Copies of this chain bind each other. A is one copy, B any other.
């Protein structure tokens, strides 16, 4: 069997994760990493060719699908429409509000040259989106809830680091257990932002900094913390490194509802991830397999998890899937 040839665009946590995940999928191989940094400055976790971003065009015909591992803020909106003109792509675009616009742009670019681009792949958007659509379709009369955590929010950690006097910080988003229990009990509650999640901040302050002011500035920060019950813990740099070095995440999608005969149903999907980027990468790789298969069948344009039948994701043949998994 010929292996699926993957290119990794951008080599941060996600790119590293794709390299790890490829080790576990014997039908997939990594052909090259593409970077906008100096290639010789990129240390990969496993040996692989590192190329300049601009040299990508030399790999047309040698790579089946590019996995875009950049960020949603600036990298992906710029890169995806460029790369999809040369290759099939998979990306993890996760700026929810901009998804419709991003879809249109990717779809048009992909169709120009007959490629396929799978966007917003990962766990949210991604597997959690799947739970929302399957649950909502299977149970028409009900309410769907998404809770995140316990896990590290990179965006919120960065926001704390911008506060004057803060040297480093790690922020955890934590689902409120009592809110989860109310949903599980079938109460179908209307939950405010504050009722669903709390925010726990671990902060390393600069020497002599005014801790009370830092705590106040964090807790009152609009959008990020003001709408939440926020706890601030000041710790040492060593403690941060020792106890908060990982990037765990996870969460819950629940749907609670009833039949027209008034029988109650509860559907729940949850994830506990020791490494958020390594799991996201593993999902990206499964969808890379799907993209190659669907493109071989003639599918072009932009697609999301909603457009991709599950059979395309599995390394098993359709007969094996029916026999072993159905």
Please give the residue numbers on chain A whose beta carbons come within 8 Å of chain B beta carbons, in ascending order: 17, 20-21, 23-25, 45, 96, 99-100, 103, 120, 125, 127, 129-134, 136-141, 246, 258-261, 263-275, 278-279, 282-283, 286, 289, 304-311, 313-315, 318-319, 321-323, 325-326
Contacts and interface: CB of A to CB of B under 8 A. Distances in A.
A137 B326 contact: no
Given A269-B269, A274-B263, A274-B265, A138 B282 contact: yes
Given A120-B326, A275-B261, A130 B125 contact: no
A21 B257 CA distance: 12
A286 B138 contact: yes
Contact of A138 (B127, B272, B306): B127
Contacts of A21: 140, 259-260
B275 A310 contact: no
A261 B134 contact: no
Contacts of A23: 260
B318 A306 contact: yes
B100 A314 contact: no
Nearest to A283: B138
A23 B262 CA distance: 12
Nearest to A323: B100
B304 A136 contact: no
B309 A325 contact: no
A141 B263 contact: no
